[in-house]
Chains A and B, each alone.
Chain A
Amino acid sequence: MDNRNLDKALEIYSCLITGQEVSRSNRETRELYEEFYSNAEVYEITTKLLKKLNLNMYEYNDSVYITAGEGNRVFGYTNDDMKRMLGLRLNKELYMVYFIIYMILLNFYQDSASFQVKEFIKPDEALNSVTEYLSALTADISIYSMDELVEESFKTIALLWDELPVVTSSDKEKNKASKASRTGYVKLTFNFLVSQKLFIENEERYYPTDRFKALAENYFEEYKGKIYSVLGGDKDA
């Protein structure tokens, strides 16, 4: 094995593991991208290394991205990690954020092959999608008593959402991430997605990154069977 190739492979790995894109269009990583695809040994070392570390690699738009997938003990996040990062305390709060992310995802992808026609999403749209979906669950809310609700249920999430004001009293706080209002939750979620390099913000408009598209269009197709077996469905969707 050529030491220089090993060096290059490790350099590519260190870029990818820090969430950076290795891309033909990125001036800083262009050379690495070319090396990755033109040098068979570099390609082999990098892919082998990623495989051994249980990391998945995807290419999109002349760029390479990796993900730890779900259930990776070393590089994946536990619920406690997530709560710490988002400043949340309860499971239902975390699931609320997951749900908002899911609604944002559905705004762009109904399935992994649907062409991405939407350029960006505004926080209001995400907020309305969540309200629309959850309002169906809270329509007959009077028949539930809080004691019956377990923390891990959709009704709990729907109730949490239902009880939140759209914005907190002062207009100044409209754009602040918090757990005090629906807008706050959405902002909190978007801040997290931006920190994860999944969206870019511009004038309160959130544009999905290539990283987001690469994962939405590839990861789930590869792990479809595994995910469906976990979700308890024998049938394919």
Chain B
Amino acid sequence: MALKHVMINDIISEHMERMQNLKRYYPFFVLYDTVFSQYKEGKYEYLDMGYITVATLRFLINENNFHERDITYEEYEAFLLELLHRDFSLSEEKNEEKELALHIFDKLINDGKAFEFKFYDPDSKTRKTARVRLIESTVKDGKVFYHVTADGIEFYLDTKEIKDESKINIQQLLLEKMIKSDNFKGGIEVVKRINSEVSRLKKEKEDIIKLMGIDVFEGVKAYEEYMSRTAKWFSEEQKLFEKNKALVDKAVEKASYKVTKSNAMNDIGALETELKKAILGHSELIKETAALSQISEKIIQGAKYKSLRNVFDFNEALKKIYAADRPEWLEYIIKPFFTPKLVKSFSIKSIDNLLTLKTEDRMAGEKIVKEASVPDFKYDDELMDERTGKNFAIIFKELLERITRWDKVSLKEFNAILEIKFGEEIFENRDFYAFLVHLAGKKRYDMRKIMEKQDTMLEEMIVKYMPDSDKENFKDVVFEVIFNNEEIIKTGKMEDDYITDMEFERRYTNG
């Protein structure tokens, strides 16, 4: 049951791939079927399109791959007519022959279209079309050139050459035949072809590394394909090189004791040099291919970590910079690479800035904020003066009131009054004691005189802070301070809160 399942799976999933491989044979059979019965009333029915197709491919491979040049239609026409004359004994008017050649060529290139090979894909359950060409054209300097496609080469090689054989090996076998038949000139050509194949493989290896850098999956696929195609032949190729080198050495030896034509001698020498070059190039290729496997391992390893890393994409960054058209932004990527700047320099213009220790950009951005001055702003000491002054004025007013009522009042009584009015806390107020000290500094107080001229600081403060209504009420009051040094009165709660008693007695100016 399981085996059946595998088989069915193979039939379905591999069908597409098999059809892809088959497609390159398709144009040959289409062309093979082309009969000349419709053309010029069947006049050229004897021509074999299958033969012409294969011959054309060989001609193009020879020119494109061996001589590395594309060909023009005129060159192809010459080749084709030569073939028709030689192999089919064609003999017609020149113009008619040219017309026939063009007709054949149009068939080969399928009138410029690809051959379409239709098949059913059981995997996707759809009909697919594979497109294939044997010959392709390019335009260079206004001229059309033709070359064989990769499918064309593969098809041609499949018809005889062993498909998987190394190209270098095929050439080596050819070289061996040539050396054995003393065709040294032909041998040089063959070695040159080997050299070009070696450099092509080197280039392919470079491309794989590049591809790995961009797309690791595609790169690994290409790498595996490359290794299976090339690496397995290396030891055999090396053996053949050794064999051919020995043959050339033998030829040189033979030529040295046998009188050989000088031309042949030169050819052997040139062949030897070319072969040495080829061997050197080939061993380099082997070395580089070995390194390739290490590189690919590292790339795969790197790609595994990459998926976990917060990667910065330089390509993407350049696209952004370009899209914004801001080349100056390149510095965001470039400058971090530089070593720290150690040599400090400044322009002469910056000397001015040095004085104020401002950097250029700060100079531009600096703003001077103008703050409006507050006209009635008061400093702390001014605030204290004001508070003291007000307190003095209040206490003095109380005193004047008592004196006005009673004519005479002792400090003890006055204290009692103040205590009732302002509470005990007044004895903890330093302004109260300061007031008494200042008050004791003068013996007689005349309100009218005080208003006119202030002798002491206390008087100044009273004038300044006593409300005008109070000044008016007490303008006629005159009193004296009488010190009674005998009695000490207690104020406040603390032990040391003692003051000497005083008396304040009203005086009447007229009496």
Q: Do A and B come from one complex?
A: yes
B residues 314-333 touching A (CB-CB < 8 Å): 314-318, 320-322, 324-333
The listed residue (A18, A68, A220) touching B312 by CB distance below 8 A is A220
The listed residue (B295, B315, B331, B333) touching A111 by CB distance below 8 A is B315
User: Which candidate, A26-34, A40-48, A70-78, A169-177, is the interface stretch facing chain B?
Assistant: A70-78
B-facing mask of A139-151, CB < 8 A → 1, else 0? 0000000000000
B306: interface (CB < 8 Å): yes
A residues 211-237 touching B (CB-CB < 8 Å): 212, 215-216, 219-221, 223-224, 227-228, 230-233, 237
Whether B327 pairs with A152 at a CB distance below 8 angstroms is yes
Report the separation of the CA atoms of residues A219 and B313 in the bound assembly, to the nearest whole angstrom: 12
Whether B328 pairs with A110 at a CB distance below 8 angstroms is no
User: Which candidate, B64-72, B118-126, B335-343, B401-409, is the interface stretch facing chain A?
Assistant: B335-343
B214: interface (CB < 8 Å): yes
Residues of B within 8 A of A106 (CB): 314-315, 318
B175: interface (CB < 8 Å): no
Whether B317 pairs with A77 at a CB distance below 8 angstroms is no
B46: interface (CB < 8 Å): no
Assess A91 versus B320: contact at CB under 8 Å? Given A68-B341, A110-B313, A113-B311: no
Assess A221 versus B336: contact at CB under 8 Å? Given A113-B302, A152-B326: no
Residues of B within 8 A of A130 (CB): none
Assess A224 versus B331: contact at CB under 8 Å? Given A67-B338, A113-B302: no
B-facing mask of A72-101, CB < 8 A → 1, else 0? 111111011100000000011001001101
A1: interface (CB < 8 Å): no
B40 CB to nearest chain A CB (Å): 49
Whether A70 pairs with B327 at a CB distance below 8 angstroms is no
A186: interface (CB < 8 Å): no
Report the separation of the CA atoms of residues A68 and B359 in the bound assembly, to the nearest whole angstrom: 19
Residues of B within 8 A of A81 (CB): 341, 345
Residues of A within 8 A of B57 (CB): none
Assess A117 versus B299: contact at CB under 8 Å? Given A81-B341, A98-B331, A231-B324: yes
Whether A114 pairs with B213 at a CB distance below 8 angstroms is yes
Whether B337 pairs with A114 at a CB distance below 8 angstroms is no
Closest chain B residue to A220, Cβ basis? B312
Whether B317 pairs with A237 at a CB distance below 8 angstroms is yes
Assess A17 versus B326: contact at CB under 8 Å? Given A113-B309, A114-B213, A237-B313: no
Whether B333 pairs with A77 at a CB distance below 8 angstroms is no
B residues 2-38 touching A (CB-CB < 8 Å): none
A87 CB to nearest chain B CB (Å): 15
B residues 338-366 touching A (CB-CB < 8 Å): 338-342, 345, 347, 359
The listed residue (A77, A113, A220, A230) touching B341 by CB distance below 8 A is A77
A197: interface (CB < 8 Å): yes
Residues of A within 8 A of B337 (CB): 67, 101, 196, 198, 212, 215-216
B209: interface (CB < 8 Å): yes
**Is the interface on chain A under 10, 10 to 19, 20 to 34, or 35 or more residues?**
35 or more
Report the separation of the CA atoms of residues A198 and B339 in the bound assembly, to the nearest whole angstrom: 9
Whether B306 pairs with A113 at a CB distance below 8 angstroms is yes
B295 CB to nearest chain A CB (Å): 5
The listed residue (B303, B313, B327, B340) touching A66 by CB distance below 8 A is B340
Report the separation of the CA atoms of residues A80 and B360 in the bound assembly, to the nearest whole angstrom: 14
Residues of A within 8 A of B331 (CB): 70, 79, 98
Report the separation of the CA atoms of residues A115 and B298 in the bound assembly, to the nearest whole angstrom: 7
Report the separation of the CA atoms of residues A69 and B336 in the bound assembly, to the nearest whole angstrom: 4
B residues 271-329 touching A (CB-CB < 8 Å): 295, 298-299, 301-303, 305-306, 309-318, 320-322, 324-329
Report the separation of the CA atoms of residues A74 and B325 in the bound assembly, to the nearest whole angstrom: 29
Whether A105 pairs with B333 at a CB distance below 8 angstroms is yes
A residues 1-53 touching B (CB-CB < 8 Å): 17-19
Whether A224 pairs with B340 at a CB distance below 8 angstroms is no
Report the separation of the CA atoms of residues A76 and B342 in the bound assembly, to the nearest whole angstrom: 9
Whether B341 pairs with A76 at a CB distance below 8 angstroms is yes
B212: interface (CB < 8 Å): yes
Residues of A within 8 A of B335 (CB): 69-70, 76-77
Closest chain A residue to B308, Cβ basis? A113
Whether B340 pairs with A19 at a CB distance below 8 angstroms is yes
Report the separation of the CA atoms of residues A95 and B213 in the bound assembly, to the nearest whole angstrom: 27
Whether A232 pairs with B333 at a CB distance below 8 angstroms is no
A63: interface (CB < 8 Å): no
B-facing mask of A108-147, CB < 8 A → 1, else 0? 0111111101100000000000000000000000000000
Report the separation of the CA atoms of residues A98 and B330 in the bound assembly, to the nearest whole angstrom: 6
B374: interface (CB < 8 Å): no
Residues of B within 8 A of A17 (CB): 340, 342
B334: interface (CB < 8 Å): yes
The listed residue (B212, B298, B321, B334) touching A101 by CB distance below 8 A is B334
Residues of A within 8 A of B329 (CB): 230-231
Residues of A within 8 A of B345 (CB): 81
Report the separation of the CA atoms of residues A76 and B335 in the bound assembly, to the nearest whole angstrom: 8
Closest chain A residue to B321, Cβ basis? A231
The listed residue (A99, A117, A212) touching B213 by CB distance below 8 A is A117
Residues of A within 8 A of B327 (CB): 92, 95, 98-99, 152-154, 156-157
Whether B317 pairs with A231 at a CB distance below 8 angstroms is yes
Report the separation of the CA atoms of residues A227 and B321 in the bound assembly, to the nearest whole angstrom: 11
Whether A70 pairs with B336 at a CB distance below 8 angstroms is yes
Residues of B within 8 A of A221 (CB): 309-312
Residues of A within 8 A of B301 (CB): 115
Residues of A within 8 A of B347 (CB): 80
Whether B312 pairs with A111 at a CB distance below 8 angstroms is yes
* Additional A-B contact list (14), CB under 8 Å, known A112-B309, A112-B311: A17-B342, A18-B339, A19-B340, A95-B330, A101-B337, A102-B330, A114-B213, A115-B213, A198-B337, A220-B336, A221-B312, A227-B312, A227-B332, A231-B332
The 5 A-B pairs with the shortest beta carbon distances in the complex, nearest first, are A237-B316, A19-B339, A220-B312, A115-B302, A75-B340
Query: What would 9 A/B residue contacts be, using CB atoms closer than 8 Å?
Result: A76-B341, A77-B341, A106-B314, A106-B318, A111-B316, A113-B306, A114-B306, A152-B328, A196-B339
